[in-house]
Structure 1
Amino acid sequence: MPKVLIADQMSPKAAEVFRSRGVDFDEITGLSKEELIKIIGNYDGLAIRSSTKATKDVLAAATNMKVIGRAGIGVDNVDVPAASAQGIVVMNTPFGNSITTAEHAIALMFALARQLPEADASTQAGKWEKNRFMGVELTAKTLGLIGCGNIGSNVAERAIGLKMKVIAFDPFLTPERAQDLGVEKVTLDELLARADFITLHTPLTDSTRNILSAENIAKTKKGVRIINCARGGLVDEVALKAALDSGQVGGAALDVFVEEPAKASPLFGTPNFISTPHLGASTDEAQVNVAIQVAEQMADFLLTGGVTNALNVPSLSAEEAPRLRPYMKLAEELGLLIGQLTENVTGVTVEVEGAAAELNIKPITAAVLTGLMKPFSDTVNMVNAPYMARERNIEIAEVRHERDTDYHTLVRVTVKTPEGERSVAGTLFGNREPRLVEIIGIKVEADMHGPMLFIVNEDKPGFIGRLGTALGEAGVNIGTFHLGRRAAGSEAVLLLSVDTKIPESLLWTICRIDGVKQVKALYFG
C-alpha cells in the first residue's frame, strides 16, 4: 500500500480521500527541515500547501518518493528541476482556488476604486469625511490583464459583467480564445498605455519578474490602479512606492509580496495603498476544493498511474492510463532495444500509426525515452527521462500518421546518430502484448523479454548451424528464434531469446563466425 505524508495543514477532506481510496497516510505538520529529512524516506507521496519546502536537500532524502502534490497553484516551495531529476512527479491544483482568487482581485479593485479601507478607518475614528473619499466608477473603465489563463479569464468574465472594457497581454492567449472571452489581445506596452486598472495573473518566471518595473510603470496612464493577487516579485515594490508618492499610480493593492510573511515593506503606510496577507485562496470553499483535488490526483497516480495537473510529466488521466499502458510498455521496450543497439544518439523521432495515432502521444514518447535512457541509469522513469535527454542535447520529434498500415497499430522509433539513422517498430498483439515487427529496416517478429542475442550477418548457408554449435558448447539454451532478411543472400538479422545472460567470451566467439557483422547482448526486464 502506498503511503503519503500530509505535511501542511489542509482540509480533513484530503485525509478522507486517501482513506477511502486505500492510500495509507500520516498527517504530521509543522516539521522543521531536519525533522522532515529524517522521515521523508518512508513515504511514496508528499502532500503540501505553501509552508513545507521540498528543497534539493529534502528531496535527496526522499528515496522512495514518487509524487509531490501541492494543494494550490504556486510551486515556489518545490525544487521542480531536482524532483524531475529524481523521477518525482510534481502536481498542483490550478483550478481549485481560481474563482476565490479572481473574486479577491475584483474585491481589491472595488476597494481601490472607492477607497474603502481608508474610509472605514476614518469613519470608525469618529470622523465623517464624506468629501475626502471621492471614488471612481468601474463601469466603462479599461481593465488590463497581465496573464489571461484560468484565473485571469475568471477575472475577465466578472469585469465584463461590470461593464468594463477588458484588454489582455498574454503570449499564450490565442485570438480564438480572446474572442471567446470577449477580451482584446494587446501588447504589454499597449496595455500599460490604455489601462485604468491593471491586475496581474501570471506565474513568477525569469521573463515575468518585475514585469511592472520602474520603466514599465512610467509607461502607464497617470493615475492607474494596480492589483496583484498572483505572485510577489511581479511588481517592483520600491518603484511602486515612488509611483504612488508621485501620483503616477493612483492606487495599488497587493495580496502578495517579494518577502513573505511581509513584516515590513516600503509600501506600508503609503497613501492609497491596500495590502492583504496572501488571502487570494483563503476561503473555506477553495481550501476544501484544493485538498480534495490534490488527494484525488495523488491517489490516482499512486494506484493507477493517472497523471493530472503535473508540471514535469505529460498528463495521463485515470481513464486513459489502462488503454495507454500497453502502448507505453511497447514504447519503452522499443526505446530500450534501440538504446542498447545505438550509441551517440543526437535525436529521437517517435511515429505512431493506426490506432496509436488516436492516442495521447506524449506519454508514449516519455516511455520511449525511459527505455532509451535505461542503459545510462538504473533509476530512470517517465519523469526524469525527458530531463536526461535534454541534458544530452537529444532532439525529440513526434509524428502522427493517418495513412493505412499493415498493422492495426504501430509505433516506430528512429534515432539519429553521427553515423546515420536507425529505427525499430512494434505493434500490439491482441491490443495487449508488445511485439517487435521491424528492426533496422528488416521485417522480423519477436517478443522482447529477458536476455536476448542480436546478430547482423550475411545470409549464407550453414550460419545458423555454426551459431547453434557455439551456443551449445557454451551451455547457453535457446528459448525463441527470430530471423529476418532484406533479400535472399543479403543482410539478415537474428534475435534469440536465451535462458541466461550471454558471457562476454561467447560474444567474441560469435564475432569470429564467418559472415557476422555485428553482435550485441540485450536484456529486457
Structure 2
Amino acid sequence: GSQVVKRSKAFEMDVIVYDPYISEETAKELGVEITTLDDLIQKADVMTIHVPLTPETKGLISKEQLAKMKDHAILLNCARGGIINEADLYEALKERPDMKAGLDVYEDEPLTDSPLTTLDNVVLTPHIAASTKEAQRDAAIIVAKEVKNVLNNQTPTNVLNMPLVDSETFQTLKPYFKLADKLGQILVQTTTPNIEELNIIYGGEVSGRSKEPLTRELLKAFLNPILTEPVNSVNAKAVAKQRGIVLTEGETDNEKYDALMKVNVKYEDKQMNIEGIIENKEPKIISIDQYNLNMIPEGYMGIISYMDLPGTIGKIGKILGDYEINIAEMQVGRKEEGGEAVMVLKVDSEIVDDAVCELLKDEKIYTVKAVKV
C-alpha cells in the first residue's frame, strides 16, 4: 500500500487511507489522510486493496459497499481473491458501465468460468507476475547478490530464518519461541487497531542473553495477520517501526519462574498486559491485565472481562450453550470479591460473532474477545 501511495503522490493525487493498524504519525509521514472505510468508498475515484484474506476481510467489498461507490470509480484488487464478492461486483459493473475494475486475484484460481469475462469495463490478469521472464531474471539476480553478501561476511537483506545467535544462547531460547508466537497471536486478536507502543520484559534464564530472536518472533506473529506482505524474523522490527509502533525491551528480576515474558501493548489511550511462561515444555498464560491465570493457549479460546457477581458465569455458559459452543476448560482471575474479573475459556468451536454480541448485551459483561491460536 505504501508503494502505491508514493506513486499516486507523484501524480499529485490526494490519497485517503483506511488502515486500522496505521498510526497518525506514520500517515503524516506518508502524506495521507486516515478515514473510515465507508468514507473512503464514497469519496474514492480510484480504490486499491492491500489487505490479507482473513475471516474479517472476506467479502469486505460486497453489494452494500459497491452501491456507495462513485459511478465513475475504478476498483483495483491485486491483494487476495475473496476480499471482493465477485458476484456482487459483476452485477454492479453490469448495471453501471461507467464504473471500472481491475482484478489480478480471484475467489477461485485460475479463473476459468466467470461472468466477469463478458464485461468490457473490467480488466482481468492471471496473477502470474512472478512467472514472467523479468521476474524470474530479477529473482536470480537477487539470489546471486545475497550469496555474494554472505560470502563477503555482509548482512543479507532477504532471509527467512532468524538473525544468528551463538549455539548456547539458541538452545536456551529455543523453548520460548513457541511462547513468543502464542503471545503475539493472542495480542493481535485482543487489542484494537492503531497500536502505539509494545513493551516486552524478560525475566529468568533468558535474562542477560540476547532476546532479539524472541522479540522478532513475537512481532512476526503479531504483524503477519494484518499485513499482505510477509513479516519474518529479519524484517519484523523494521516493519513495526514503519507502522509507527514504538518497541521497548527490558529485563526484570524473577525468582518464581525459570523464564518469564511480559508484554504490554498501548493503543488508543488503552493498554493490555499479558504474561507467559514455559512449564513442562509448554507455553502457559499466567496473567492477563494483572489477573492471575494458569492456562495453555491453544485452539479456540475466549477472553471475557465481567463483573464478578452471582449468576454472571452461569449466564456466560448458558449463552455459549445456546450457540452450541461447548466449554472445555475455564480459568477465572479476580482481584477482589464482587469486582471486575477476567475469564479465559477453552472451547470446542469458534465463538461466533452472534454469540459475542449476545454476551455483550449483559451490562455486567464488559468485553468479549474470541481467539484462535
| TM-score (norm: length of structure 2) | 0.58
* CA distance in structure 2 between the aligned counterparts of 1:34 and 1:371, rounded to whole angstroms: 31
Report the RMSD for the aligned CA atoms in angstroms: 3.0
Q: How far did 1:419 drift?
A: 0.9
* CA distance in structure 1 between the aligned counterparts of 2:141 and 2:214, rounded to whole angstroms: 32
Is the CA contact (8 Å cut-off) linking 1:467 and 1:513 kept in structure 2?
A: no
Aligned to 1:174: none
Q: How far did 1:395 drift?
A: 1.2
2:360 corresponds to 1:515: no
2:242 corresponds to 1:400: no
Q: How far did 1:503 drift?
A: 1.3
- Shift of the 68–492 alpha-carbon distance from structure 1 to 2, 3 Å rule, reads farther
**How many aligned residue pairs are there?**
241
Is the CA contact (8 Å cut-off) linking 2:172 and 2:206 kept in structure 1?
A: no
Q: How far did 1:318 drift?
A: 4.7
* CA distance in structure 2 between the aligned counterparts of 1:448 and 1:404, rounded to whole angstroms: 22
* CA distance in structure 2 between the aligned counterparts of 1:69 and 1:476, rounded to whole angstroms: 55
Q: How far did 1:400 drift?
A: 1.6
Query: Based on CA coordinates, which of the two structures has the bigger radius of gyration?
Result: 1
Which of 189, 193, 199 is 1:349 aligned to? 199
* CA distance in structure 2 between the aligned counterparts of 1:426 and 1:374, rounded to whole angstroms: 21
SS in 2 for 1:363: helix
Aligned to 2:231: 380
* CA distance in structure 2 between the aligned counterparts of 1:370 and 1:515, rounded to whole angstroms: 35
Aligned to 2:141: 53
Aligned to 2:311: 462
Matches within 5 A, 1:362-511: 362-377=212-227, 379-401=230-252, 403-430=253-280, 432-511=281-360
Q: Which runs of 5+ in 1 are unaligned?
A: 1-32, 41-45, 47-51, 60-66, 90-300, 302-306, 308-313
* CA distance in structure 2 between the aligned counterparts of 1:330 and 1:74, rounded to whole angstroms: 32
- Shift of the 420–502 alpha-carbon distance from structure 1 to 2, 3 Å rule, reads closer
Is the CA contact (8 Å cut-off) linking 1:350 and 1:414 kept in structure 2?
A: yes
Q: How far did 1:338 drift?
A: 2.0
- Amino acid in structure 2 at the alignment position of 1:369: L
Identity fraction in percent: 26
Q: How far did 1:514 drift?
A: 4.0
**RCO comparison, higher one (Cα < 8 Å, 6+):** 2
Q: How far did 1:35 drift?
A: 6.0
2:151 corresponds to 1:72: yes
Matches within 5 A, 1:312-323: 314-323=163-172
- Amino acid in structure 1 at the alignment position of 2:151: G
- Shift of the 497–360 alpha-carbon distance from structure 1 to 2, 3 Å rule, reads same
* CA distance in structure 2 between the aligned counterparts of 1:69 and 1:319, rounded to whole angstroms: 28
Q: How far did 1:468 drift?
A: 1.1
* CA distance in structure 2 between the aligned counterparts of 1:428 and 1:75, rounded to whole angstroms: 35
SS in 1 for 2:223: helix
Q: How far did 1:68 drift?
A: 6.2
- Amino acid in structure 1 at the alignment position of 2:303: F
SS in 1 for 2:344: strand
* CA distance in structure 2 between the aligned counterparts of 1:381 and 1:71, rounded to whole angstroms: 19
Q: Which runs of 5+ in 2 are unaligned?
A: 1-130
Is the CA contact (8 Å cut-off) linking 1:336 and 1:374 kept in structure 2?
A: no
1:222-246 Cα shifts (integer Å, max 9, x gaps): xxxxxxxxxxxxxxxxxxxxxxxxx
- Shift of the 413–472 alpha-carbon distance from structure 1 to 2, 3 Å rule, reads same
- Shift of the 68–352 alpha-carbon distance from structure 1 to 2, 3 Å rule, reads farther
1:148-194 Cα shifts (integer Å, max 9, x gaps): xxxxxxxxxxxxxxxxxxxxxxxxxxxxxxxxxxxxxxxxxxxxxxx
